[in-house]
Structure 1
């Protein structure tokens, strides 16, 4: 072997080892791409289940269509078996609930009712609920407060004009690379890195806040830091457990992934790890305008604001307070790879879809069609 070839191999080896020695880049290279089983690779805090679980009624007969008309690989309409369609689109859990009754529940690829899946960005919607509760509790005064009231160290970075509402609506003007392709992007740093608090302290703005919508994972992570600072020594996980997981009668323990084991902070932009039925209860809470068994868990005004189509102060009409609003009849939490909690208040329907991949499906359209055609033989 020639000397220059040996030198190239040595240099390449040193470069690779240096990458792997960096925890963030090493995780990115090793794990390659986010997966719904990533709860296994990150440290986490446990969310304890309720001792008085709430369970949905079970329908004696299925009410979902047995067939579905959908596009095939050639972009032509074709009739598919409904279960096959779900399985081939890499769905692992699909749950349809109407009037507190499970009309359809199925699991695929060795998943079952007790299988855990990462929420990915559905956690943003759950975080929004916790922010609303913190306001109800008087821990946060108003969404109109500047975030520097709670994170004063960001003043030097020009965040004085950024309010909590700007973060909720993704109109903060944050300079944040949302790419999950590059190991050096902010999104990868937050997902694979081990010091999110430090990463937040380095954030900058690229636009004036309140001018335009731009989806970034940095905004909900800043909200998570604010929440951590106002809940009187509790962890964000403990607040989730106290305010939602136990009051909503969750059937299973869950967890929230952290950036690191010792003194870690929750990845509030993602990564609540739970089961389909318990995710559905988040939908039920908002279906009932924040009420749960005659108790107001979060204010009705917060739910209304979070799910109302409007475009004030640069916000997008289809996105309010970390919830997606595809049309006037429905709203949903959505996560990477096609995780969904869909709610249609008019039809009293909740749909949860968890998947290994998005599957090339416009899922909110499928959910809307199911809401209109529940009980029919063919979904068209």
Structure 2
């Protein structure tokens, strides 16, 4: 997990863990490869940088930009990267799980976000997840578990990760977490919450996470390549709904396009517009930007397993993963940016700040090009 070895690790997870395919289906759309440069500059701490600096300074491995559904730029600075390479997306997976839950709700497999977790997972009765709703899980307000710390070996996430890697029982870890707050009262970022959400989806649909994702999402968006989940080593082999999805950067950008276009792509309605809009509305005070706690940057709020991004009254939102994975969606300008990275550490507020500044600069640049073209045609 350390550089430079991590660049290989993050593109070969199926060589390290058991995995299961998320099939693209029979119908798919090949993306053409573009070599056109994107001449964008951004300002940071009084200095000017371009995208080349961004990739070097923030360890980019893959970078794709869509504008109005068109592929306008891609580059692969990573050592093992390319258009057909599938990248480990870490917690960006959580936002894909959210889309799957929205699809299950649209199809009445899950009846309502107010449904209790124990309606679908009675084995969690009497645990910290008793009395927690699907909505609480989606907004990370379950009140279950400790602060997610990668440096504390006794933290819930450390015990959960250890169980994944060593074949321990994920359910035993989930059952052991303590309640720290009343459900719905406080935000606490939790991969374990998403694992429970994935189990709810599997119980409601009667299929595995990978089978559901393939049938209802991946086979319908025109994906270039199959995706996959790597699995835990326990005998039951669980997909990690909060962190084990792998896909090409181009196909990741298609997910962003789906969200930018209100839940439809290629003429197909995949998930309801209302579900997409729920993903950028951080309406609860404790979910708004600046209110998530000291662990989270002030420019992020949270809604529906997506991060809302402050600035200019826009509806920008993002899916994020540790080590610098970004799916940045600006539906107002219909711009999607997918960036995979191999940061030296799991989380770095300075690298995150620079990335957000640069991605906003890409949006402004493309909007400026649109305005220039409109002025000329007018």
Give TM class, smaller chain.
0.7 to 0.9
* SS in structure 1 of the partner of residue 243 of structure 2: coil
1:344 is aligned to 330
Structure 1 residues 42, 280: closer, same or farther in 2, change over 3 A?
same
1:78 is aligned to 47
Separation (CA, whole Å) in 1 of partners of 2:283 and 2:24? 36
CA radius of gyration, larger in: 1
Contact kept? 2:264, 2:271, Cα under 8 Å: yes
With normalisation by structure 1, the TM-score equals 0.82
Structure 1 residues 331, 91: closer, same or farther in 2, change over 3 A?
same
* 1:105-129 Cα deviation digits (max 9, x unpaired): 1011322112221110110000001
Contact kept? 1:170, 1:315, Cα under 8 Å: no
2:270 is aligned to 297
* SS in structure 2 of the partner of residue 354 of structure 1: strand
* SS in structure 1 of the partner of residue 149 of structure 2: coil
Q: CA deviation at 1:201?
A: 2.3
Contact kept? 2:10, 2:88, Cα under 8 Å: yes
* 1:282-335 Cα deviation digits (max 9, x unpaired): 1011111111233221111111111213116x4345110100111333111111
Segments of 5+ residues of structure 2 without an aligned counterpart are 290-300, 370-378
Q: Show the 5 A alignment for 1:124-273.
A: 124-193=94-163, 194=167, 195-232=169-206, 234-260=207-233, 262-273=235-246
Q: 1:87 aligns with which of 48, 56, 59?
A: 56
Separation (CA, whole Å) in 2 of partners of 1:35 and 1:211? 38
Segments of 5+ residues of structure 1 without an aligned counterpart are 1-26
Separation (CA, whole Å) in 1 of partners of 2:201 and 2:212? 9
* 1:47-96 Cα deviation digits (max 9, x unpaired): 1223222244666844x225x3444xxxx433334224313321001111
With normalisation by structure 2, the TM-score equals 0.83
* 1:196-224 Cα deviation digits (max 9, x unpaired): 12222223211111111111111111101
Structure 1 residues 134, 376: closer, same or farther in 2, change over 3 A?
closer
1:366 is aligned to 358
* SS in structure 2 of the partner of residue 218 of structure 1: helix
